[in-house]
Amino acid sequence: MDVVDLKVERKPKLCETVVAAIREQLRTGIIQPGQKLPTEGQLTGVFGVSRTVVREALAQLAAAGLVEPRQGAGVFATEQISTVLGALASEMGTKDSIALNVLEVRLAIEIESAGLAAVRRNAAQEAAIQEAHFEFGRLLRNGDPTGPADLAFHRAIASATNNPFYVEMLDVLGRRAIPCDVTSPWSTETTQSETYQQGLQREHLTILTAISNGDADAARDAMRAHLSSSQQRYQERLQERRTMPDAG
């Protein structure tokens, strides 16, 4: 007797539906670069979902560099990124070596962005960096993925350079910029341990303190130490995978 092969299509999560709809509106220009998105309350009404779903969707869009939360002002569509760089990012794939390449690029970009932020940031930009740091801590305490806040922290620093190209580069990398977030294809339980996350939080605080003090050299040193440590941690993670019995 032949067995019928039943294929059940997975029903997309409510959050995925919201993300896909807003992405399409961004792609088609219904929502223009720099335009403010509807409020959380308005989005819950439009999509018929809870505020929790809306917030999760906006966090994913922010992590991808498509929207930008602004403290006290709302959520705005980011400016269009370079098509050449965007095409390059889309071809990066999900291989482990890509994560190391991304971290190497970030070293080249973000060390100087931290130094520039220390001398160029205004009060609102400094507050945005602090807010992202506090949000990282809140997510960590709640046991939620910290990737969106991690990326928001680095993006706020890039924004504080007042050079839009620093922001553009991070927007191109999007979620790839945080390869060890639990929502990333490169994540492991080890990298998401509480001890690991607390280490990231301490490194972020060192960077934030240097920027707040207006110390460009200290900010560069702190960012270099942070990203170099991320490289080392990820290389160790790859080595562990290679030595596992089922690796390969």
Task: Provide the residue-wise pLDDT of the chain in tens; the chain has 248 residues.
Answer: 454 444 444 455 788 889 889 988 887 778 888 889 999 999 999 999 999 999 999 988 887 778 888 878 899 988 654 444 444 444 444 445 566 677 788 888 999 999 999 999 999 999 999 999 999 999 889 888 888 888 889 999 999 999 988 887 777 765 555 554 444 444 444 445 778 888 899 999 999 999 999 999 999 999 999 999 888 877 777 676 666 555 44
Could you tell me which CATH class the domain 83-243 is placed in? Answer: mainly alpha
List every span in the chain annotated with CATH 1.10.10.10.
Answer: 14-77
14-77 topology per CATH: Arc Repressor Mutant, subunit A (1.10.10)
Per-residue confidence (pLDDT) for residue 88, from 0 to 100: 47
Per-residue confidence (pLDDT) for residue 14, from 0 to 100: 84
CA gap 66, 3 in Å, rounded: 46
**Amino acid identity for residue 200 in this structure:** L
Degrees, nearest 5: CA angle 83-84-85: 95
How long is the chain? 248
Q: CB–CB of 98/129 below 8 Å?
A: no
List every span in the chain annotated with CATH 1.20.120.530.
Answer: 83-243
* Cβ neighbours for 199, distance < 8 A, ≥ 6 positions apart: 229
* Cβ neighbours for 216, distance < 8 A, ≥ 6 positions apart: 115, 116, 118, 119
Q: What are the residue ranges of helices labelled H in the chain?
A: 14-28, 40-47, 51-63, 83-90, 96-120, 123-142, 147-159, 164-173, 194-212, 216-243
Neighbours of 34 (CB within 10 A): 11
Q: What is the DSSP letter of 193?
A: S
Per-residue confidence (pLDDT) for residue 235, from 0 to 100: 74
The model's pTM: 0.59
CA gap 194, 201 in Å, rounded: 10
